[in-house]
Amino acid sequence: MKYAFMLTTALATCLCAHLAAAQGPENEEGITAANVAAVIKPEYSPYAGRSYPTRPLFGDTHLHTAVSVDAGTLNRVGQEDAYRFARGEEVLSTGGLRAKLARPLDFLVISDHAEMYGLMPQLLAGDPEVLSTEKGREWYAALTSGNFDTVFATAMAIVGSLSGDEPPIKSEKAVRNAWQAYTALADKYNDPGQFTAMIGFEWTAIGGYNLHRNVLFRGDASVANQTLPFSQFDSKNPEDLWSYMAQFEKRTGSDVLAIPHNGNLSNGRMFTVESFDGKPLTKELAAKRIQYEPLIEVTQIKGDSESHPFLSPNDEFAGYETWDRANLNGTEIKTKDMLKYEYAREALKTGLKLEASLGVNPYKFGFVGSTDSHTSLSTAEEDNFFGKHSGVEPEPHRWEHVVIQAPKPEFNVYGWQQAASGLAVVWATENTREAIFDAMKRKETYATTGTRMTVRFFGGYDFTPKDAETRMPATAGYQKGIPMGGDLPKAPAGKAPTFLVAAMKDPISGNLDRIQVVKGWRDAGGETHEKVYDVAWSDGRVPGPDGKLPAVGNTVDVARATWKNTIGDPELITVWSDPEFDPKQAAFYYAKIIEIPTPRWTAYDTLRFNIKMTDNVPMTTQERAYTSPIWYTP
């Protein structure tokens, strides 16, 4: 110990001031000039000077608290506890359960509904501003009446008013108070380098057709306070939301972006080829959309919108936690012809078509996942899932309770159908609002269904298998290519794009089954196509005569809600080159990584509550990640 200390001291002294002294006769520690010259070479550490993102940040861009008018009728957990929970502290749920995450999130956007922002807590507290309105006094009296039927009917009326044409309570002052209380809280919990509290809100148009967007701010409270949340009472047209955003940016010099979600519940409206008014899409509108909406939320509790088996019949992994019976509130049946305007993979293809006709691709978006939880608790973990809203928090019967009540019972959505999903993963250079926002703008993001796997995806023309034989794929990735969300340059003559893709398991989740690359392209005739390639997989499996890889197997012990990582691999990496590349065809490529089967949240509920669910309830799941695409444009 003492010797080591002396050596260190001697070395430090040499380095600091007396390089010349070491050139004399060999000293007792054996330090020579050559030793010192070697030590001071600056190129040794492979981690020094890295300017690219080195650690994925896991977060949620879509969380509701008691401040949202709908959540607030049941939810009694406020924004402050939502932050405390997300950064790893234990809080109490509305139902009185102790709640804590296995691991903290790196960032959180509390995106309460813009409509009558902050109304419910104000109503319940008898806020003078709200009670100065007639409706405010009426609702306050009803909610404090102590009569269950009156309280329930009033709560339903309040939730319903969220999608009306006029806000029943119109108080700019009340909204401003709530908004500025929120932005102050976000600034308080924003802890650069440790935990990012990005400011945001949800614009909630239109009724059951779910054109909802979350609007995220790059700046702090002093910036966000220069506006009020834009609500569907201001306009139900997303084009007006983009105008609001444009004006805000011009006025403040600070950027905003919007993330649409639940295309799967829009009944054919999310990714259309028309304007909101049903006119042909223009180049200007397409450009505005992709400028303000660089990302979509592709997976969340109300189902996954990446792909649908009807649209991708040759993809055995198409469809995950699929909700495809009706629109958001179950007021309109969904028909097959609507699906192509709802699912992300098809929308990416539609974007290639529109780009050919308009010169701009409005659907050149990247992916994030998030929860859209209305419990203030961002839980995407299968073994720690607090549900969609406070009415379906953990208890023995939540699996059979109605989560979304439809006019026709066959369109009701039941508790067991909820997906414990998802997460937004960002390759940012540091954990700050600015770095996360900038990564979102360049689409260097991926979505997961709740698991925290690490995924790299790079495209270029010069990746070789050797680039996959390293423990630091990102070094080759950034040197020789562009990361997820980027554009491939023009193809050099005779070359096809190559992709370096790598995935590492979440240490506390399942091993990996396979990596797929999903390609979509536009042919010479203007038609679009898709193909899914298995590019890396576990356990040395050999594809069958039909070219399909055998399934990875299943180690789930449903009764114990556990599994073994004895199948699958802890990490997968490969270099893949497109074997069917045509330099004249526009294309996109994204990676999809699939875990081995693990218990679904319903298996944990079955075990913990010692209940039996009906046979139609799935008990296992294969968690997955979707990277933002890389585009090739001839």
Partner 1 sequence: MWATENTREAIWDALKRKEAYSTTGPRMLVRFFGGWDFVPADAQTRMPADAGYAKGVPMGGDLLTAPAGKSPTFLAAAMKDPLSGNLDRIQIIKAWADADGKLQESVHDVAWSDGRKPGADGKLPPVGNTVDVANATWTNTIGSPELIAVWKDPDFDPKLRAVYYVRVIEIPTPRWTAYDQKRFGIKMSDNVPMSVQERAYTSPIWYTP
Positions in the binding site for partner 1 (CB under 8 A): 44, 383, 454, 469-471, 504-505, 507-508, 511, 557, 560, 562-563, 565-566, 569-571
Distance between CA 17 and CA 461 in Å, rounded?
48
Cβ proximity to partner 1: between 312 and 448 the closer is: 448
* DSSP tag of 393: S
Cβ proximity to partner 1: between 175 and 423 the closer is: 423
- At its nearest, how many Å lie between partner 1 and the CB of residue 266? 37
Cβ proximity to partner 1: between 99 and 354 the closer is: 99
Distance between CA 595 and CA 593 in Å, rounded?
7
What number of CA atoms fall less than 13 Å from residue 45's CA on the CB side? 7
- At its nearest, how many Å lie between partner 1 and the CB of residue 333? 40
Whether 498 and 459 have beta carbons less than 8 Å apart is answered as yes
Using alpha carbons, select from 68, 70, 65 the residue that is nearest to residue 159: 70
- At its nearest, how many Å lie between partner 1 and the CB of residue 469? 6
Cβ proximity to partner 1: between 136 and 568 the closer is: 568
**Which single residue is written with the structure tokens 């995106």?**
111
- At its nearest, how many Å lie between partner 1 and the CB of residue 24? 26
- At its nearest, how many Å lie between partner 1 and the CB of residue 591? 19
Give SS3 for 74: coil
- At its nearest, how many Å lie between partner 1 and the CB of residue 507? 5
CA separation, residue 328 to residues 207, 223, 305, 331 (Å):
8, 33, 13, 8
Distance between CA 274 and CA 289 in Å, rounded?
12
- At its nearest, how many Å lie between partner 1 and the CB of residue 567? 11
Sign of CA dihedral 580, 586, 591, 594: negative
Cβ proximity to partner 1: between 26 and 557 the closer is: 557
Whether 250 and 321 have beta carbons less than 8 Å apart is answered as no
Cβ proximity to partner 1: between 279 and 471 the closer is: 471
Distance between CA 440 and CA 426 in Å, rounded?
7
User: End-to-end CA distance of the chain, in Å?
Assistant: 64
Cβ proximity to partner 1: between 53 and 486 the closer is: 53
Angle value at C-alpha 149, between 146 and 153, nearest 5 degrees: 110
- At its nearest, how many Å lie between partner 1 and the CB of residue 83? 19
Distance between CA 81 and CA 91 in Å, rounded?
7
* DSSP tag of 483: E
Cβ proximity to partner 1: between 540 and 579 the closer is: 540
- At its nearest, how many Å lie between partner 1 and the CB of residue 570? 4
Cβ proximity to partner 1: between 286 and 572 the closer is: 572
Distance between CA 512 and CA 244 in Å, rounded?
43
